[in-house]
Amino acid sequence: MATLVRFDPFRELAGLQNEMRRMIYAEGAGEPSARAWIPALDVWESENEVVYAVDLPGIPEEKISVELEDGALSVSAEREREETSLQDGFRRYERHFGSFKRTISLPAGVTEADIKASYSNGVLELRVRKPEQPKPHRIPVAKSEAGAIEGKAQKKE
């Protein structure tokens, strides 16, 4: 007896997507370093600051660069692959190697003095003090002592 299964196009698409992913990222399809590497970033906010935490495991502190330019904070680094000599051994590379650059937009008014960076246990933590928001100023309107302004139309000849 045959079993009927309802056709679900989304299930079929998900299966196709998994097969494509397996083909693209198969062993030997390319070095992991050739693929784009963007480290994970967490962001949270307190009353006085915004904190950005970037996962950079295995990268020495001297290879990390943090720059502020035109209201954007750029983090760049490079992780190098350790060469191993395995003769007739199995190799599998899943970690990403190479360089990356990640840029974060900051609120207007943030200066270099407002940013503190620390690196511990493979996590770069950037603490950005929130700039003071400009407060509206009330401008008094003075009463005019003169009466209404009158004008005359002139005929153009």
Per the model's pLDDT, the better-predicted residue between 135 and 35 turns out to be 135
pLDDT at 119: 95
The boundaries of the domain holding residue 75 are 33-80+92-132
> Confidence class of residue 33 from pLDDT cuts 50, 70 and 90?
very low
In whole angstroms, how far apart are CA 96 and each of 39, 56, 62? 9, 11, 19
First-last CA distance in the chain: 103
pLDDT at 12: 74
* Separation between Cα atoms, residue 10 and residue 27, nearest integer Å: 28
State the CATH number of the domain containing residue 42: 2.60.40.790
Interval 119-157: pLDDT, tens = 999 999 999 998 887 788 888 888 876 665 666 767 776
Q: How many domains does the chain have?
A: 1
In a domain, 149, yes or no: no
In a domain, 85, yes or no: no
Interval 145-154: pLDDT, tens = 666 566 676 7
- The pTM for the full model equals 0.60
* Separation between Cα atoms, residue 68 and residue 14, nearest integer Å: 41
